[in-house]
Amino acid sequence: MQWRACRSLRHPVRADASAPRFHGPCICGLRIFEAVPQASDVGRESVTALPRSGRKASGMIHALLHALSITGSMAWEIAWALILGFALAAVVQAVVRKSTIVSLLGDDRPRTLAVAAGLGAASSSCSYAAVALARSLFRKGANFTAAMAFEVASTNLVVELGIILALLMGWQFTAAEFVGGPVMIVALAVLFRLFLRGGLLRQAREQAGRGRAGSMEGHAAMDMSVPGEGSFLRRLLSGQGLTSTSHVFVMEWAAILRDLVIGLLVAGAVAAWVPDSFWSAFFFEGHPVAAKLWGPVIGPLVAIASFVCSVGNVPLAVVLWKSGISFGGVVAFIFADLLIPPILNIYRKYYGARMALFLLGTFYLAIVVAGYLVEFVFGGLGLIPDQADAKLPEGGVTWNYTTILNIAFLALAAALLVRFFRTGGLGMLRAMGGGPGSDGSGSADDGDAG
């Protein structure tokens, strides 16, 4: 008796004499092989073959279960990191008023751009909320370049992204994030200084002033910081501070949840169903120089085609890295979350079609520059990990440090969620998609201060 891989998954042939009678172990761990009787088997045993349609249906079910298994394992691996990142962002937003941010972003000097990047990294947001908040800052008087630096940092220089990259791909990718992000901001500032004309900027400001709705407008307009004087810790631990923190935390999750789920599902499907041979040819695996040059160029285009933004694109980045894309290509892919088609359409609504095209071109060039820099700097220092060691998390739930951390942080999330609903948070949640001109006060006074 020999064993043949299920044709619906096109896995390679693998013999296994110890396998059960009708199912052998596939290389991916799924027991989906079908028995193939040989001439020597005739007369010794009879094999009842499944109908062709039955074999196809069985293969599709197993493939779907495999994809969902990968999705679930990734979600479990990163859950605590997401909760930690959004909790830290909620703490910052609970004590820093948005009017303060606007006053610090009045020009495009290097010091101002550094402040914008720092504030953006501290006020972690989903891509849609970051874009809406950058427009809000621009309308209130912030410099356009500084507002864009804030936008980039609030999605690509955030704590939760760094932790997730370290968990799923290695600390080198976290380091590349925090090296490549500032490089992208500097490249954007240079490109804006060289090519952004006053007429186009005036048109963009006039268009922004019209207040056309994009996405997450209500979320961007809300300022839930705690008013009054006092130290950081005193304001944070007050009743209003805890309420504000819970409101920001839950609303950040609500803003990102859709893209995160889509990203995990897409990554699971790609990992289970797209053959490695396709990616190997697409990313020039086996041709080191061509792969390094191609990766940062094609990475953003794959991101645009995936329609997934925020940290939701990290699971797919894991699959791409395992499938052969270069180190710089992974970084460029992750940074391109602000160029997916829905966000480009929002740029068009916010700033006009010409500025949307300008942002597409300049962001793309800045991302490519950042990708090349981390590719060659990290390569020169010998810091690029071996792709052969890349593995998808498929172990499921086991008793280890990840499970312990998940239990602890899920308890924290549950406590914040309870406070959110007890203090009038549901009404604010409904207003997340409101127009940019809506009342964005959303202060912690709205709920129970105790």
> What's the alpha-carbon Rg for the chain, to the nearest Å?
25
Q: What is the mean pLDDT of residues 399-404?
A: 87
- Ranked by mean pLDDT, the top range of 193-207, 261-275, 395-409, 420-434 is 193-207
Structure tokens at 268: 């699971």
End-to-end CA distance of the chain: 72
Using one digit for the tens of pLDDT, what is the confidence trace for 163-191?
Answer: 889 888 999 999 999 999 999 999 999 99
59 vs 350: CA distance, rounded Å:
47
| pLDDT of res. 23 | 42
Write the DSSP string, 415-442: HHHHHHHHTTHHHHHHTTT--TTS----
282 vs 245: CA distance, rounded Å:
45
**With pLDDT > 90 as the criterion, what percentage of the chain qualifies?**
38
Q: What is the mean pLDDT of residues 1-24?
A: 43
Question: Which pairs with CB-CB distance under 8 Å and at least 24 residues apart come from 272-280?
Answer: 272/28, 272/63, 272/66, 272/67, 272/70, 273/63, 273/67, 274/323, 275/10, 276/323, 276/324, 279/320, 279/323, 279/324, 279/325, 280/323, 280/324
Using one digit for the tens of pLDDT, what is the confidence trace for 54-73?
Answer: 666 676 777 777 778 878 88
Residue closest to 147 by CA, chosen among 351, 314, 333: 351
Query: Looking at this protein, which amino acid is placed at residue 272?
Result: A
In the chain, how many H helices and how many E strands? 19, 2
Query: Is residue 40 over pLDDT 50?
Result: no
- Ranked by mean pLDDT, the top range of 90-104, 334-348, 432-446 is 334-348
The pTM assigned to this predicted structure is: 0.74
- Tell how far CA 294 is from the center of its chain: 22
Query: Looking at this protein, which amino acid is placed at residue 76?
Result: W
Q: What is the mean pLDDT of residues 120-139?
A: 83
**With pLDDT > 70 as the criterion, what percentage of the chain qualifies?**
77
Assign 48 a pLDDT band (cuts: 50, 70, 90): very low
Q: Which residues contact 110 (CB under 8 A, 6 or more apart)?
A: none
Q: What is the mean pLDDT of residues 347-369?
A: 96
Structure tokens at 248: 């920001």
| pLDDT of res. 315 | 85
Ordered by start, the domain boundaries in the chain are 1-40, 67-446
Assign 221 a pLDDT band (cuts: 50, 70, 90): low
Structure tokens at 256: 């990102």
Using one digit for the tens of pLDDT, what is the confidence trace for 107-129?
Answer: 999 999 999 999 998 876 678 87
- Tell how far CA 201 is from the center of its chain: 29
Mean pLDDT of the chain: 80
Contact criterion met (CB below 8 Å) for 108 and 146: yes
Residue linked to tokens 């500084």 = 146
Of 96-105, 289-298, 381-390, 426-435, give the lowest mean pLDDT range. 426-435
| pLDDT of res. 44 | 41
65 vs 76: CA distance, rounded Å:
16
Q: Which residues contact 305 (CB under 8 A, 6 or more apart)?
A: none
3-class state of residue 3 by DSSP: strand
| pLDDT of res. 376 | 95
Query: Is residue 202 over pLDDT 90?
Result: yes
Query: Is residue 431 over pLDDT 50?
Result: yes
